[in-house]
Amino acid sequence: MNKLQRMMDNDMRAVQSDLGEDVDWKGKTYEAIVGELSEGAALQLEGYDPDTSLALTFRRADFDGDLPKPGDRMIYDDMSYMVDSVSKLPGKASIAANCVIP
């Protein structure tokens, strides 16, 4: 980890300590920043289907090599979400997981 990456990681840790919320993934609890939570409903043939999504931002350093991937399940606020997409650009101090209710 270079100096800039260490600075970004320290900044991310500070934000996480102030705003972080628990998210469970693969039997372990991680601290994430819930950046977006949208609720709506999509019109279906038999009525409205609830549509809830959220974006979770984690410190990359909190993971031991294995990172979330599309299709994984995460639990936040007693609700199960499916990872829809993951942003994990090299050199970034964080990863973002966009999740939906399956």
Structural domains in the chain (count): 1
pLDDT at 101: 84
Phi-psi region of 4 (alpha: psi -120 to 50; beta: other; left: phi over 0): alpha
Q: Structural domain of residue 82, as residue ranges?
A: 3-100
Tokens describing residue 54:
């959220």
Contacts of 27 (CB under 8 A, 6+ apart): none
Q: Identify the CATH number of the domain in which residue 31 sits.
A: 2.40.10
Looking at residue 92, the DSSP 8-state letter turns out to be -
Q: Which residues pair with 10 in a beta bridge?
A: none
Cβ atoms of residues 101 and 81 within 8 Å: yes
pLDDT at 42: 60
Cβ atoms of residues 68 and 86 within 8 Å: yes
Stretches where the chain sits below pLDDT 70 are 1, 37-52, 91
